[in-house]
Structures are given as C-alpha cells and as structure tokens.
Amino acid sequence: MLQAISSAPVSSSPVSPVKSVMPWMAEPRMPLSDAAPYTVLSAQELYPRICVRDPYFALKDVTVLPGEVVARVPVQMAPDAEAMPLGLGEAGRHLAILGSCGAALVAPKDGQHFYLASAARGQWLQPSAQERATDMLWALAQAEYTGKRTCTARTLLSSSDGTPLFRLEVDYNVLSAAAFTRLFGEARQEMRREPRPAETVTRTPEEWAKLRQNPYSKPLDLQDFQTDGDVLRSSLIVTPELCKGHFAMHPVMPVAVVAGGMTRMATTLGRNLERNGEARFVAKDVKLSADSLAYAGQTVVFGARRTRVRGADHTFACTASVGERVVAQLDVTYTRVD
C-alpha cells in the first residue's frame, strides 16, 4: 500500500489566542476547514485528526493562514556531522507533521486519518556551513489532495529571521482509522512469524527514567556497524519507546526517524571514506521513498553506499530493511564543507 514556495514574512509578534478549545475526544466536532484565519490550533483539535502526538509532535503555535498553516519549530537534536541548523531527519520530521496538519485542514472528510508519508523530495537552500540553531525556526505548509486517498504537502523551513533553509515536498497515503487498524492488524499477524526480542518484565529506576526521555532528542543507537568498501551497514531493534507519540496504540517507527538513521549512515560513511572523523557536510538534494512500515519488535538493517564523488559533493544511496522487506530508501547528496 505504501509505494513508493517562497515564504511570506512571518510576524514575530504574539499570535492571537485560540478561539475555541475542543474537549479531548476521538472524533472532532468542528471541521478544520471552518477555522478562521489566524486561529491557533490546539492539541485537542490536532491530535485526533493527524494521529501523532507529543513527544513526536513538537511544533508550537500551529496557526491557520489563508490556504496554509505555519508553526514554530524547535531544534531538539544536535546535527552532528551535518553542518546545518538542524539535521535532515529532524527537519523532515517537523515538516512532515506540519504537512499533515495542512492536509487535515483541506481533508474532504473530517475525523481521524492517518497520514503515512510515502515519498519526499527536498532541497537544502543554504550551501554554506552553519551552526546548530539556538532559536525556534519557522515552517509553512500548503497541502492538496491528489486523489481519494492521497495528498501532497509543500513545505518550507526558515530561520528565525525568515531566511529560507529547506524546501520539502511530501506525498502521503491517507487512511481512515479503521483502514489503518486493519493494515496494522494484518502486519501484526505477519510479525508473529518473525523472531521478537524478549519482553522486559521488571525495570530498574534507570530504565524507567529512560522511558520518560524524549527519544527524538538524540540519534538512534545503531549497532553492529560493518564496513565493506564503499558500503556501511548497521542494525537497530525497534522498541515501543522509539515510537512514542507516533500512531497511538500502534507503535510504528516514524519514517522521518528512519530517514534520520539513513542520513547518519551516509555521513558516517562519508567520514570513514574521507578518513576524517571530524568532517562535516551540508545537504544539497534528497529523495526519499517509504515502501512499508517498521513495527515495534522488528529489527531494521540500515545500509549506505557512496555512489558518486564529484569534487566536494558526495552522493549516497541508503536503505532501511526488515529482513527482505524494504522499509525506505534515500538518495542524498552532501557537500563536504570542512
């Protein structure tokens, strides 16, 4: 099922208060299309529609504008080898979520929907090295339905002073809650045939403290790194803790987090091949396809292969798979800047 703007100035002045707060419920009452311009959408209005919540959802002040939505974007993870205000994986996470908010705004039917990213195409707009952002960034999204169960969001990430940073177009498969539950149930049946790690019955205080942490504020704990020429591989067991806030009651590893794992593989391989553990890179172009889902209890194998070097530009083909099943693929070009 899963196959394959220029920014208007955003005022830094306080946005208007929420006009009406809906009670927490499974089925919203007011279509988002009825929201007046400059209305700030509360969590109670958004969560039941986009089916992700905190801590995966970290946007602030999601605000309706004519034909689009804007939000403030936090930077929660250090970019590491990416010499950018934030890493590609985190940028994709925030923009894909905002894109789903924009899609909910124009959804032909109100109610609960799952927005499953199936593809993305992005371009980093600042070629020079930059340090990690210390202020909130801004993001804008416009969405339109391209079919009965598909939509596309066009998003733009900007610095706090309005400088455009990253343009990303995301395609979604849109499922009703009932359809996603069926899809998840069928996948769980298949998973019973796959080996699963033993469940932890008791936890130490340190383990409980770890459960309370935000998993999206640090890189994935990839294991078993293996290098073979221009190819690097690693693996990761998906735990429910790595899926916090992503499809409640249906722990699924977010596509943006999978993409973050693949970009980390690419920059790690780049450092290894350049024989410089401190080398840093700036992204140029990125193309992602999400073919299936990785569920809690499964092991994802990440792979990266350098396919081309042209001057300072390094192009990588990355994959994430569960057994023989491809979860996602990423083609990304980085420019080495130091």
Lowest mean pLDDT among 17-31, 152-166, 219-233: 17-31
What one-character-per-residue DSSP string does 37-83 give? TTPBPPHHHHHHHH-B-TTT---EEEEEETTEEEEEE---S--TTB-
Among 238, 262, 209, 326, which Cα is nearest to 88's?
A: 262
Top mean-pLDDT range of 14-23, 40-49, 263-272: 263-272
- Does residue 23 form part of some domain? no
Whether the pLDDT of residue 201 is over 60: the answer is: no
Residue 301's alpha-carbon distances to 102, 234, 294, 298, 319, in angstroms, are 32, 6, 11, 10, 8
- Does residue 156 form part of some domain? yes
- Name which residue leads in pLDDT, 146 or 7: 146
What percent of the chain lies above the pLDDT cut of 90?
67
Q: What is the pLDDT of residue 27?
A: 55
- Does residue 25 form part of some domain? no
8-state DSSP, 243: G
Model confidence at 124, pLDDT cuts 50, 70, 90, reads very high
The stretch 73-80 carries a mean pLDDT of 95
Query: Six-digit token pair at 109?
Result: 């039917």
Model confidence at 25, pLDDT cuts 50, 70, 90, reads very low
Residues 6+ apart with CB under 8 A from 278: 271, 338
Whether the pLDDT of residue 212 is over 70: the answer is: no
Domain that holds residue 154: 32-177+187-193+211-336
Model confidence at 206, pLDDT cuts 50, 70, 90, reads low
Q: What is the pLDDT of residue 37?
A: 86
Neighbour order of strands in the sheet with 299-310 = 60-65, 68-73, 137-145, 150-158, 164-176, 113-124, 281-290, 325-336, 313-322, 299-310, 231-237, 223-228
- Does residue 269 form part of some domain? yes
Q: What is the pLDDT of residue 3?
A: 33
User: How many domains does one find in the chain?
Assistant: 1
Model confidence at 29, pLDDT cuts 50, 70, 90, reads low
Model confidence at 119, pLDDT cuts 50, 70, 90, reads very high
The stretch 103-128 carries a mean pLDDT of 92
- Does residue 297 form part of some domain? yes
CATH code of the domain containing 314:
3.10.129.10
Residue 168's alpha-carbon distances to 14, 177, 193, 234, 322, in angstroms, are 27, 26, 37, 27, 26
Q: What is the pLDDT of residue 205?
A: 58
Q: What is the pLDDT of residue 16?
A: 37
Model confidence at 33, pLDDT cuts 50, 70, 90, reads confident
8-state DSSP, 250: S
pLDDT, tens digit (0-9, with 9 covering 90-100), for 156-191: 999 999 999 999 999 999 998 888 888 777 655 554
**Cβ 42 vs Cβ 21: under 8 Å:** yes
Q: What is the pLDDT of residue 34?
A: 75
Look over the chain and give the mean of its residue pLDDT values, rounded to a whole number: 85
- Does residue 152 form part of some domain? yes
| Cβ atoms < 10 Å from Cβ of 1 | 12
- Does residue 117 form part of some domain? yes
Top mean-pLDDT range of 24-28, 164-168, 173-177, 229-233: 164-168
Tally of residues, the chain? 338
Whether the pLDDT of residue 335 is over 60: the answer is: yes
- Does residue 50 form part of some domain? yes
**Cβ 307 vs Cβ 334: under 8 Å:** no
pTM of the model: 0.85
